[in-house]
Structure 1
Amino acid sequence: MLNIAYIIGGLVLLALGAEGLVRGSTALALRLGVSALVIGLTVVAFGTGSPELALSVRAAIDGNSGIALGNVVGSNISNIALVLGAAALVKPMKVRSEIVRREVPLMIGVTLILVAMLSDGRMSRVEGIVLVLGAVAYTILSYVAASGGERQSVESEFDEALTPPKRSVLVDVAFVSAGLVALLVGANLLLKGAVAVAAAMGISQVVVGLTVIAIGTSLPELATSITSAIRGEADVAFGNVIGSNVLNILAVLGVAAVIRPFDVQGLRLLDLGMLVGTAVLLLPLLWRGWVLNRWEGAFLVLGYGAYIVSLVH
């Protein structure tokens, strides 16, 4: 029971930490004059992906690479199948942003690169450095693209979603500080509980990362995307998920590999197939008018449910 409490407490702290970090950093960026669109594609994506980063870094330091790998792979699968699927069930979403549309093929490309790196059974430090450099390049390119002429079509939508707060700047700094502390403590608790549960149940750390941890660390994306869908801000929802998936691979797994290279153990071909399949599946679903309908959302959620069943049986 204590280990379950660690897991639940860790997930709660990670969710609260991500929320505080996003609120504080977004407000500070708006005060500095950064455009809402740039913030949506970078700051919010980094912030909602912070639970994955905090947990994977802690796992890498402790030598629990299976959890770090399972966390990233599982989170990317759940972000598309569960998060976007659930958001589409709440309200069908139409993507209008050319920037977001262009990032779908980019996400697929990054996913294929990861699969190629994992094919030899090991993630090296050099590969980790390549991924981290890719994260830097992605962030810069996102800023450049969002600062160009394309931004006009969706800038108003991001402006509505991200408005400057009227509170003191000290409150924003406090949000960021408290968020970082909550992320660190939450990552430690979740990792402690997850490792113990995996050992007690005789299952691999990768499976724990693919299921409980992946779903738990995807909660910020789920909350953000459903809220955006209800508000009719489909581009924000898609931009958040796609940006998070790209950064999960480039930044989260890249940093973990730089800290400690690891062997790929416990990951099935089905897991990699789901990782690639969910990313590729977005293209035919979206190219038909770039709309994600309720039945398509239901298909994604049901498919994710079947995948989880395959993991636990």
Structure 2
Amino acid sequence: MLFAIGQLIAGSLLLLIGGEGVVRGASRLAILARLSPLFVGLTVVSLGTSAPEMAVSISTALEGKADITIGNVVGSNLFNMLVIIGFSAIVAALPVDRQITRFDVPVMIAACVAMGVLSYDGNINRIDGILLLVAMVTYFGISYRLGKEKPSDDMKEFVEDVAGSPIESDSLGKKAVAVLLQLLILALGIGALILGCEWFVAGSVTFARHFGLSEAVIGLTIVSVGTSLPELVTSVAATLKGERGIAIGNAVGSTILNILAVLGVASVVSPVGINVLCSIAFIDVPVMIGAAVLSWLVLRTGHVVSRFEGVLLVLCYCAYIVYLLIANDAIASPW
């Protein structure tokens, strides 16, 4: 049991370190490629912070642990929409960019609904995965055009703070060295994610089974919270730096990419697709859709998320966790 706890702690640390490396490397490469700051923030940074979910979901999909795979996606999205936005708002009230409420959040709701439709028959197969990946590319394209038309100053400052100041010199040699360095950071980050996800999944499964939790609940709770730590750290750090709109952009972007990218890739690489339990398809996924609509309503109210609304969002997540434990007869402690 102590070894499993050690795996959880070590795996979480590696996921955090790996996620940070992926965010820095990917963001820096995007800046060197002169991509739009808004595009970088909502897609590249979000994809970087979603890398732990990607690593864990691919690993569990290949191992045939579909319950953890789908639970990780749903649980991470609920954590993003309720805890990350909520906790960031508790730290400081969050202003909301109108583009996010007009485009990105509706896309997030549509992605959640699409996941519900695809999981209705109990399996998300490779064709479904390809459709999700095509939708991801489309979202990337539209986000790039919108970000190019209306760049965000605070997003630019945040990305440059995360990735480092952009290269001012036009020297081809310096840019080549910078690209190689960021590729190395990116590779090390991915390596840390792979090792971290193996330790984290192994430890979480052992730990949770000791308390009588099913693999679905493990994915919906422990694994999803652990893999969402990079998003939480990134959003809270942005809030503390005064760049509060980034917290929402990161949470919304990560939620979209968890479905389109993480679930899409996992269902493509899995030989038999991702099997979805009836309880997840008809209870947890609808809860996720409801959380997406709730977050949209909160974000639209005065275009600011107050501390009170942040507390309500966090309490909603706590209520969901309590429901999961009660539903799976896991409240009673084995001690």
TM range (shorter): over 0.9
Specify the alignment match of 1:224 in structure 2. Answer: 234
**Structure 1 stretch displaced more, 207-216 or 99-108:** 99-108
**Structure 1 stretch displaced more, 29-38 or 218-227:** 29-38
The separation in 1 between residues aligned to 2:284 and 2:226, in whole angstroms, is 18
**Residue 262, structure 1, aligned to residue 263, structure 2:** no
SS in 2 for 1:109: helix
Specify the alignment match of 1:159 in structure 2. Answer: 156
Structure 1, unaligned runs of 5 or more: none
**Residue 211, structure 1, aligned to residue 225, structure 2:** no
SS in 1 for 2:280: coil
Contact kept, 8 Å, 1:93 with 1:291, in 2: the verdict is yes
Deviation of the 1:201 alpha carbon: 3.7
* Matching of residues 1-313 of structure 1 within 5 Å: 1-99=2-100, 101-148=102-149, 150-151=150-151, 155-163=152-160, 164-165=164-165, 169=178, 170-260=180-270, 261-265=273-277, 267=280, 269-313=282-326
**Structure 1 stretch displaced more, 196-205 or 29-38:** 196-205
Contact kept, 8 Å, 2:36 with 2:144, in 1: the verdict is no
Runs of 4+ in 1 over 4 A off after TM superposition: none
The separation in 1 between residues aligned to 2:325 and 2:235, in whole angstroms, is 27
Overall identity of the aligned pairs, in %: 39
Structure 2, unaligned runs of 5 or more: 168-176, 327-335
Deviation of the 1:4 alpha carbon: 2.1
The separation in 2 between residues aligned to 1:13 and 1:192, in whole angstroms, is 14
SS in 2 for 1:147: helix
The separation in 1 between residues aligned to 2:281 and 2:209, in whole angstroms, is 19
Contact kept, 8 Å, 1:97 with 1:235, in 2: the verdict is no
The separation in 1 between residues aligned to 2:129 and 2:281, in whole angstroms, is 21
The separation in 1 between residues aligned to 2:7 and 2:312, in whole angstroms, is 33
Q: TM-score, normalised by structure 1?
A: 0.93
Q: Deviations over 1:117-157 (max 9, x none)?
A: 11112212211111111111111221122112x33xxx211
**Structure 1 stretch displaced more, 93-102 or 233-242:** 93-102
Contact kept, 8 Å, 2:79 with 2:225, in 1: the verdict is yes
Name the CA shift for 1:207/1:282 in 2 (closer, same or farther; >3 Å): same
Contact kept, 8 Å, 1:95 with 1:238, in 2: the verdict is yes
Deviation of the 1:209 alpha carbon: 0.7
**Structure 1 stretch displaced more, 99-108 or 162-171:** 162-171
Deviation of the 1:100 alpha carbon: 5.3
The separation in 2 between residues aligned to 1:289 and 1:32, in whole angstroms, is 36
**Structure 1 stretch displaced more, 273-282 or 86-95:** 273-282
The separation in 1 between residues aligned to 2:275 and 2:186, in whole angstroms, is 34
Contact kept, 8 Å, 2:50 with 2:258, in 1: the verdict is yes
Name the CA shift for 1:173/1:262 in 2 (closer, same or farther; >3 Å): closer
Root-mean-square deviation over aligned CA pairs: 1.8
Contact kept, 8 Å, 1:100 with 1:235, in 2: the verdict is no
